Amino acid sequence: MLELNYLREKRDEAVERLKRRVNDTYEALVDEVLAVDVKKRKIQHEVEGLLAEMNAHSKEIGALMKKGMKDAAEEAKAKVAEIKSRSQELKQDLAKAEEELKQLLYQIPNAPNLDVKEGKSETDNEEVERSGEIPQLHDGAQPHWDLAAKYNLIDFELGVKITGAGFPLYLGKGAQLQRALINFFLDEAIAAGYAEVIPPLVVNEASGYGTGQLPDKEGQMYHITEDDLYLIPTAEVPITNMFRDVILSQDQLPVKVTGFTPCFRREAGSYGKDVRGLNRLHQFDKVEIVQIVHPNESYTRLGDMVNHVKGILEKLELPYRILRLCGGDLGFAAAITYDFEVYSAAQNKWLEVSSVSNFETYQSTRLMCRYRGDDKKTHLAHTLNGSALALPRIVAALLENHQEPEGIRIPKALQRFTGFEMIN
């Protein structure tokens, strides 16, 4: 949610920023919010005046009763009864206005950072950086799904038998490669100052709301209806919810947490596009990095996170590019997002492997994640997160880009984690 105060104080700036998303309903929504807010405050003022009156009378009644002044007490009671019926009506109006306000705020996405380009879809994303050589593959080079079969690394059909499509089974060196990547990514994160956690893979409804998967993206999560719990679509959910309803002290910031978890996504409605091999799965492994930071430094920290991901991709010797998403392609909760894509040499396309975002206060308003500033007051913290990294497409790119006629070469940095230098 956007902060109401921000809209009140900087309405024009908010509208200007929202324009990046190329959707003209937002300006009207902002103004509607402001109008309802005025109405709400007016009602609130009135209600609280009446309640104050009632409270005063009630106290008076207590005193009168004690003194035995029954008649005077009865008189006061009658007065209260009258005020009460009026206040109850107003209370309902107030509740209605509050609900209306909330519903309106839920419909407004985060206001993009002004660096974000106006644009409708992914074709408007800006490439801000590109690094690494796109390898020239030998004749007979294959896409990863063929390589996975050739070297017996992944069995997609067996996964179908056990569970269903999108739940691959990793075998032998394929499984070891997964384990190696997870450890490599975690060690990199720890070296960068992140504290490792192993969170639950199943979360309750409140956590789903906290990070914004609920109520909108309900269909993307697996729902255990019997216990009303959800399988996590990303470690962002349990990790960020560690800080739900928490007031941190300023010197605890920045909080940096990393965690490895499997991720479960129903991928409802996304059939037919890029579904071959490892490109899109219902279950996949990912190491996530999360930061809770002081608002003044969230963009510096975002830069650190981008550099962190770059470092990993370079160590894996994969060619990558960084895209700054345009307004229209930006997620609902993000103020800015950098997508990392690695080049998949045999499929001849870029595959998204990481997404690093600053949510500013959009998540923390819902989470109520705050810190106590120098002024002793509470302020909303900024939250950021990024994948560092998601495994399947990295594996796809590693297999494809590092394939040689005699086998698949493991990048040097990864060898101490795999324990082998070649898959052959």
Residue 62 interacts with RNA (CB under 7 A): yes or no: yes
| Cβ atoms of 330 and 112 closer than 8 Å | yes
Minimum CB separation of residue 112 from RNA in Å reads 24
- Number of shown-chain residues binding RNA (CB under 7 A): 28
Tell me the DSSP string of 308-374: HHHHHHHHTT--EEEEEPPTTTS-TT-SEEEEEEEEETTTTEEEEEEEEEEEETHHHHHHTEEEE-T
Q: In what order do the strands lie in the sheet with 202-203?
A: 202-203, 229-231, 223-224
Nearer to RNA, 137 or 246 (CB): 246
If one counts every other C-beta atom within 10 angstroms of the C-beta of residue 335, the result is 27
Cβ-contact 57, 74 below 8 angstroms = no
Determine the Cα–Cα distance for residues 412 and 315; give it in Å rounded to an integer.
8
Smallest distance, Å, CB 58 to RNA? Answer: 4
Does residue 270 belong to the site contacting RNA (CB under 7 A)? no
Q: How far is the CB of 391 from RNA (least distance, A)?
A: 25
> Is residue 409 at the binding interface for RNA, with CB under 7 A as the rule?
no
Minimum CB–partner distance for residue 51 and RNA (Å): 4
Nearer to RNA, 65 or 137 (CB): 65
Smallest separation, CB 3 to RNA (Å): 8
DSSP 212: T
334: its two tokens: 């993000």
> Is 128 a residue that touches RNA (CB under 7 A)?
no
Burial of 271 (0-12, 13-18, 19+ CB in 10 A): exposed
Integer Cα distance of 386 and 298 in angstroms: 13
Query: How near is the Cβ of 204 to RNA at its closest, in Å?
Result: 7
Q: Which stretch binds RNA (CB under 7 A): 43-51, 151-159, 210-218, 392-400?
A: 43-51
Rule CB under 7 A: is residue 52 a binding residue for RNA?
yes
Stretch that binds RNA, among 24-32, 44-52, 128-136, 332-340 (CB under 7 A): 44-52
Find the binding residues for RNA in span 64-93 (CB under 7 A): 65, 77, 80-81, 84
Q: Measured between alpha carbons, how far is 208 from 81 in angstroms, rounded to an integer?
A: 43
The DSSP string of 125-145 is: PEEEEEESPPP-PPTT---HH
Q: How far is the CB of 39 from RNA (least distance, A)?
A: 12
Catalog residues that contact RNA under the rule CB under 7 A: 4-5, 41, 44-45, 47-49, 51-52, 54-59, 61-62, 65, 77, 80-81, 84, 247, 370, 372, 377-378
